[in-house]
Amino acid sequence: MKPGKTVELTFVDSAGKPVPGVRVDIVKCQASDVLQTLYNPPNPKLPDVKIPRCADENGIWKWTSAPEGDIRVSARVSGFLPREIELEGGAGPRTVTLEASE
């Protein structure tokens, strides 16, 4: 298996302020066989694969062992519309602006 790539998303609101606690779920991965092996719900009998579940207090979600290829994630947090994001491991940090819900 090749070394993982880093994916880093910073979630902000329309004013550019960080949005903490954004839940990020992997929806699709080009390396779906790898994803199936890696992405498991928390379980004390399985190893921790270090895929973060939520953005930190600064709105940053960083996965340092993403597989190569296209990845699609969903992002959701109270007060904002859910969003799907296309990304790629190793593509560099990216800022994602979330739209407030009505």
Residue 16's region, left for phi above 0, alpha for psi from -120 to 50, else beta, is left
Domain boundaries, the chain: 5-97
pLDDT digits (tens, 9 = 90+) for 71-81: 889 999 999 99
Q: What CATH code would you report for 5-97?
A: 2.60.40.1120
Output the pTM of the full model.
Answer: 0.83
Would you state the structure tokens that stand for residue 67, as one six-digit string?
């597989």
Q: Could you tell me which of 50, 62, 69 has the C-alpha nearest to residue 22?
A: 62
Q: What is the pLDDT of residues 36-82, one digit of tens each?
A: 545 545 666 656 667 899 999 999 999 988 887 888 899 999 999 99
- Confidence label for 2 from pLDDT (cuts 50, 70 and 90): low
pLDDT of residue 85: 94
**Residue 101, number of CB atoms within 10 A of its CB:** 10
